[in-house]
Structure 1
Amino acid sequence: MSLPEASPFPLVGLKAVTNAQHEWVALAFDIVADPGGALNALQAVFSYPDMQAALAPLDCIVTAPDLAVTDPAQLRSLPSSMVMFRVPLSACTAGSQKKCKQLAEQGYRLLVEGEGGIHAGQAGIRSMAFDCSENVPSELAMLTMPGPHLALNVDTQARRDAAKAAGMAWFCGDYARHPDPDAAQGDGTSRKRLLALLGLLARDADSRELEILLKQDPALSYHLLKVVNSAAFALSTPIHSFGQAINVLGRRQLQRWLQLLLYARQQDDGGANPLLPLAAVRAAQMEALVKLRGGDRDQQDMAFVTGVFSLLDVLLGMPMTEIVAALSLDLDVVMALLDRAGPYGELLKVVEQDRPDSSALRDLELDHETWWRSLLQAYHWAIQVSRNL
């Protein structure tokens, strides 16, 4: 395969924004464009076929082009019902307030980067985006705008808790991947049962064996039946037994849903598990990239497994070496999970990044548009998974 030619399509990264219940409410865009080409890059991304439908109903948070040189009328091609603009503190100054107001009048919601105070309100800005990696904003700063306010760089559970206590409603960061080490990861019996189920799935066990183990886990059983009876399958007759569920889904789909359902357990605070959609994105994008590169169905399945299992060490609070030792996985999958090596490991290293650089994609013979297509497919599927679970 020859190296891809330079792509005119911008390099795009996405990062999920969650609410207090760990549910996805928006996606933060990281779009790399040539100097002076931010507007063209935005228009290329938002005019991409089926883009808006794929990411609905989530809001899309993008950095506004330089308001000093951009006419708000130029942004009308972007859907105001979907797009939220991040603007710098300088947008609150007298010179830029008028343009911010025009955007607000067009229906766009604006977030100011930092404590804009009363000047932000005068510019039609209703929300704040604040770097909470070390500090949280003052209570007074949030009182001047109705919100929702976005906490950025929330990379630990402690920082998320601090931002939430300060009054922030939306959160963006890696806190899901770095849970509180003192938090309970589930009792030993639960972990052993999960590993046993994973082992059965890995060796394509008999449906009866799966059914026996599922009955021992009420939460997993509930979620499986909920999935099968969801609108995604549009069944005329409700499914009430595991045997029926297995028959309806088919073994390949059953394996995929169960692999994801392992992440579906409710958190102690009553919210969803923030690892679930992240695992879904990784799995779906790994599969999409392998398919786009010409991989067969077995290779796509192994790519999916690699992505969905890549967060099991975080979920179970166990070393990946112990998890892999309990499962019967293909050697390429094992290499990817343990060392990020081999064909799937190289892909996983890129998929784990919120936005890889162009050289990393070139090394894998991927262009920017192929990357965006796989990302769009993955986030669309993860959004649907989260809604059905």
Structure 2
Amino acid sequence: MKDVFLGRLPILDSKQNIAAFELLFRDNQQNEVSVTDNRAASASVIIDTYGQLGIENVMGRRRGFIKVDAKFLLSDAVFLLPKNHIVFEILRSVEINDEIIQRCSELSRKGYQIALSSVVRIDKQFERLLPLVNVVKINVNALNEKELTCLINNLKRWPVLLLAEKVENRKTAKKCIALGFNMLQGFYFAKPEIISGKRIDPSKLSLLKLLLLIVKDGDVTEIENEFKYQPGLSYNLLRMVNSAATGMPKTINSIKRAIMILGRKQLQRWVQILLYTAKQKDGSSSDALVQTASVRGKLLELIAIADRPHDKNHHDRAFMVGVLSLLDALLDMEMSELVETLSIQKDMGDALLSRRGYLGRQLALIEAHEQGEFETVLTALTELGFISMSEFTVMELEALAWANRISEMVNSPD
């Protein structure tokens, strides 16, 4: 497999649930990352590797935005990409001429979606294209509030969705939602800020208590009793154990029996993921967090398996570090307080608190990947010494596909 680096940045709706992803692909030539001013070169890598990567597995049911320049947009290669999964994001540098208009019209007729990238104003050339556009991405950092309001009002003449990009903090996110943006994007959402002084949501507190009982090897009866206090949680457990995936010959109706069948390690993992999907007061779930935490956990586990194939305990600890790495943001608590509460092993605590130690460096590698810091990732992989870029890409794809399956399962209303 050709060395390819896949990045995936979440695009959220106004309730901060994941609506789509921006896909970043890089060609790794001579162990260097070539990042051009226009990032449309990434699109050619997508074409080269689409069959191997299985982009639909990476995104689940969501769409992926990819940046394209005029050269790629006018090539026949665009039609090799799946219309149900791709949004072509036209770079600001593209000159909107008759040829571009004709191609966008053709793409639209064939069912593809089109977005405009990094918009700060609407001039006459973009006005020609707007009837064919589905999404307008606005660089909110480049405009003051008056300019932003004026631009939004101007865009209301067309039936387009508005996406705020470069959202770097909670204040900007709230402002954009108030202004009527349909979607938000920015590194702020990779790891939301911690807001101190909040009480833990009761549903999350119950899950945290359950996690503590499992981690500390509590008695099965204690774990069972904690489930009995939460009917919704008990229903979820029974539904999961009785799902077709487990292949059970008959229906399991006992909480205790379900715990025994699932096993402590799988139960622990399930509770960790459920922590992120606990409903907020506004009715939304922490969709971005569950995705990021799930991917981190699975990717760290896969790295651990590659490193120590027969050390199951190491694999489980790596998974736990990955999933717990966002718990401070979820529960609005300091990580030091959570580490102390969970009484986890010192090397795991060091990884979570300061990214020190073996697991800490691997967690830092994954965080650098989330932020698109490609050179840092390459350096970290070289230092690890046992994973190539190609192998890391395969692991990442497996982790992304697994996280999508988990997200769909725990959020399923059925």
TM class by smaller structure? 0.7 to 0.9
Distance 2:2 2:230 in 1: 50
Letter aligned with residue 381 of structure 2: L
Read off the aligned partner of 2:76 and give its amino acid letter: A
Aligned to 1:75: 78
SS of aligned partner of 2:52: coil
- What is aligned with 2:332? 317
SS in 2 for 1:184: coil
Displacement of 1:39 in angstroms is 4.2
Instruction: State whether structure 2 residue 9 is matched by structure 1 residue 15.
Output: yes
Counterpart Cα distance in 2 of 1:193 and 1:286: 26
1:10/1:54 CA distance change after superposition, 3 Å: closer
Distance 1:133 1:254, change over 3 A: farther
Q: Against the structure 1 CA distance between its residues 105 and 190, is the aligned structure 2 distance closer, same or farther, given a 3 Å change threshold? A: closer
Letter in 1 for 2:155: M
2:180 is matched with 167
In structure 2, which of residues 25, 28, 33 is the aligned counterpart of residue 31 of structure 1? Answer: 25
| Local SS of the residue matching 2:277 | coil
Counterpart of 1:103 in structure 2 is: 107
Identify the match of residue 134 of structure 2 among 126, 135, 140.
Answer: 126
Structure 1 segment 241-256 matched on structure 2, within 5 A: 241-256=254-269
Structure 2 CA distance for partners of 1:151 and 1:37, relative to 1, 3 Å: closer
Question: What residue number does 1:360 align with?
Answer: 380
C-alpha distance 143-37 of structure 1, shift in aligned 2 (>3 A): closer
Q: How far 1:237 moved relative to its partner? A: 5.5
Q: Indicate the SS of the match to 1:48.
A: helix
Measure the CA separation in 2 of the matches of 1:219 and 1:153.
38
What residue in structure 2 maps to residue 292 of structure 1? Answer: 306
Mean Cα deviation higher: 164-173 or 310-319: 164-173
Select the residue among 382, 396, 401 that pairs with 1:380: 401
1:85 aligned onto 2:88? yes
Q: Which amino acid aligns with 2:21?
A: L
| d(CA) in 1 for partners of 2:237, 2:198 | 24
Which residue pairs with 2:343 in the alignment?
328
Distance 1:307 1:194, change over 3 A: same
Alignment partners' CA distance in 2, 1:164 and 1:194:
30
From 62, 65, 86, give the equivalent of 1:61: 65
Which one-letter code corresponds to 2:170 in the other structure? Q
In structure 2, runs of 5+ residues without a counterpart are: 28-33
Aligned residues: 380
User: Which amino acid letter does the alignment assign opposite residue 9 of structure 1?
Assistant: D
In structure 1, distance between residues paired with 2:192 and 2:327: 13
Q: Deviations over 1:260-298 (max 9, x none)?
A: 112221112211123222211111111122223444322
CA distance 1:55–1:93, change in 2 (3 Å): closer
CA distance in 1: counterparts of 2:252 and 2:142, whole angstroms: 49
After superposition, the C-alpha distances for 1:135-164 in whole angstroms (9 at most, x for unaligned) are 556333432442333222333333223222
In 1: Cα distance, 2:249 partner to 2:174 partner: 44
1:87 Cα shift? 0.8
Cα distance, 1:54–1:28 mapped onto 2, change above 3 Å: closer
Question: What SS does the corresponding residue of 1:333 show, helix, strand or coil?
Answer: helix
* Residue equivalent to 2:227: 214
Cα separation, partners in 2 of 1:383 and 1:226, compared to 1, 3 Å: same
Pairwise CA distance, 1:73: 1.1
The alignment's TM-score, normalised by the length of structure 1, stands at 0.86
SS of structure 2 residue aligned to 1:163: helix
Contact residue 220 and residue 261 of structure 1 kept, 8 A: no
In structure 2, the partner of 1:4 is none
Q: Which residue of 2 aligns with 1:279?
A: 293
**Secondary structure in structure 2 of the residue aligned to 1:361:** helix
Maintained 8 Å contact 2:207/2:271: no
Judging changes above 3 Å, is the alpha-carbon distance between structure 1 residues 179 and 336 closer, same or farther for their aligned structure 2 residues?
closer
> 2:400 and 2:233 mapped to 1: Cα distance?
23
CA distance in 2, matches of 1:231, 1:158: 44
Does the CA contact (< 8 Å) of 2:114 and 2:135 recur in 1? Answer: yes
TM-score normalised by L of structure 2: 0.81
Provide the C-alpha distance between the structure 1 equivalents of 2:248 and 2:162, rounded to a whole number of angstroms.
Answer: 40
Q: Normalized per residue, which structure has more helix?
A: 2
Which letter does structure 1 place at the counterpart of 2:356?
A
Asked if the contact 2:276–2:285 (Cα under 8 Å) also holds between the matched residues in 1, the reply is no
The share of aligned pairs that are identical, in percent, is 27
